[in-house]
């Protein structure tokens, strides 16, 4: 932890410069586009499955959906929220009809696992290593990461829902409530990044760290580009002329794209810190030296 937050002996300027250079070299945003595609395929079936579960508790469903919608409205562009609400309304009408849940479930698992695998692949590129885990271990890692991230999201939603209950009981104002919601969202995102950076790359003897400079970088980037995209879409260009009724879909893909890009850039930053620390511990062998045991770049 101390080495991590000491930036491996690098200045902040050098760390940012190296991170930008390596992100470009490792084609971070190309990999983020691949991840965005798989996540896009998974998001609507997951929404349907969530609605189907919540139909079993109608009173809870209304309160929970309202809480999630309120937080999402603070983050997402209006057109994108309209798309999600329209899809949710259509799916709510289909919940009671006969639906191929098994087929949908298989499709969701396929998309989620491929999205997680794409994330692992991108983090391996960031750390400049090849995937050397046995297939069974890799499959368990993909499944475990997918489940843990889903569980973290569920906990985040539950905590946000709980803040609404606290507001009703203690008559808390809107501003403190929103601040608490953002604190919960930031904490759960940081925890999710910690899980990804700990178990994603194919590295041995990794130590758990609740927070890293890369995780902080990813969180700041995500907040900045999310609000930047919201301002751009709401006030300057909503893509309606370019994509017509598909403008909400274009916005969703772009939001997933920049979200995954921010996560991978955080991994690149952590990698640069660890490389600089190893060079320093080895006696300053040079900024371009990469130990063969743990830093073998994949063949292009």
Q: Are 16 and 274 in contact (CB under 8 A)?
A: no
The Cα 145–Cα 201 span in angstroms is 12
Residue 43: the pLDDT is: 82
Q: Which two tokens stand for residue 142?
A: 């993909």
Residue 19: the pLDDT is: 93
Tell me whether residue 290 is in a domain: no
Q: Which two tokens stand for residue 151?
A: 């569980």
Q: Are 267 and 127 in contact (CB under 8 A)?
A: yes
Residue 63: partners with Cβ closer than 8 Å, 6 or more residues away:
161, 164
Residue 81: the pLDDT is: 80
Q: Which two tokens stand for residue 71?
A: 């937080």
Residue 300: the pLDDT is: 38
**Residue ranges in the chain whose pLDDT is less than 50:** 285-300
Q: Please give the model's pTM, rounded to 2 decimal places.
A: 0.81
The Cα 219–Cα 213 span in angstroms is 10
Tell me whether residue 299 is in a domain: no
Residue 210: the pLDDT is: 65
H-type helices in 11-134, by residue range?
A: 12-25, 28-54, 58-75, 78-94, 101-126
Residue 57, classified by CB atoms within 10 Å of its CB into exposed (0-12), middle (13-18) or buried (19+), is: exposed
Tell me whether residue 287 is in a domain: no
Q: Are 199 and 208 in contact (CB under 8 A)?
A: no
Tell me whether residue 136 is in a domain: yes
Tell me whether residue 86 is in a domain: yes
Sign of CA dihedral 168, 173, 175, 180: negative
The Cα 69–Cα 274 span in angstroms is 40
Range(s) of the domain holding residue 32? 2-281
Residue 293: the pLDDT is: 38
pLDDT digits (tens, 9 = 90+) for 85-94: 788 777 777 7
CA dihedral 41, 257, 297, 141 (to 10 degrees): -40
Tell me whether residue 286 is in a domain: no
Tell me whether residue 291 is in a domain: no
Residue 23: the pLDDT is: 92
Q: What angle do CA 82, 86, 91 make, to 5 degrees?
A: 150
Q: How many independent structural domains does the chain possess? A: 1
Residue 292, classified by CB atoms within 10 Å of its CB into exposed (0-12), middle (13-18) or buried (19+), is: exposed
Tell me whether residue 293 is in a domain: no
| Lookup result for tokens 């809870």 | 60
Write the DSSP string, 114-126.
Answer: HHHHHHHHHHHHH
């Amino acid at each position: 932890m101390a080495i991590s937050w000491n930036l491996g002996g690098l200045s902040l300027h050098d760390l940012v410069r190296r991170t930008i250079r390596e992100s470009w070299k490792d084609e971070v945003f190309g990999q983020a586009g691949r991840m965005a595609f798989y996540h896009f395929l998974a998001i609507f079936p997951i929404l349907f499955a969530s609605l189907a579960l919540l139909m079993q508790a109608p009173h809870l469903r209304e309160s929970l959906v309202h809480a999630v919608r309120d937080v999402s409205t603070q983050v997402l562009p209006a057109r994108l929220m309209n798309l999600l609400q329209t899809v949710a309304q259509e799916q709510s009408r289909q919940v009671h009809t006969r639906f191929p849940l098994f087929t949908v479930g298989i499709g969701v698992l396929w998309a989620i696992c491929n999205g997680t695998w794409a994330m692992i692949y991108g983090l391996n590129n960031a750390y400049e290593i090849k995937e050397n885990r046995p297939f069974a271990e890799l499959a368990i890692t993909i499944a475990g990461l997918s489940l843990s991230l889903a569980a973290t999201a569920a906990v985040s939603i539950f905590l946000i829902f709980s803040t609404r209950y606290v507001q009703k009981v203690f008559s808390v104002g809107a501003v403190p409530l929103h601040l608490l919601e953002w604190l919960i969202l930031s904490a759960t995102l940081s925890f999710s990044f910690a899980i990804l950076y700990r178990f994603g790359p194919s590295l041995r003897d990794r130590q758990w760290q609740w927070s890293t400079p890369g995780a902080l970088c990813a969180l700041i980037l995500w907040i900045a580009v999310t609000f930047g995209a919201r301002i751009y879409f709401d006030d300057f260009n909503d893509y309606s002329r370019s994509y017509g009724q598909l403008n909400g879909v274009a916005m969703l893909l772009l939001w997933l794209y920049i979200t995954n890009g921010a996560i991978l850039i955080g991994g690149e930053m952590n990698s640069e810190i660890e490389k600089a620390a190893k060079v320093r511990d080895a006696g300053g062998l040079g900024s371009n030296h990469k130990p063969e045991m743990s830093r073998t770049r994949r063949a292009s």
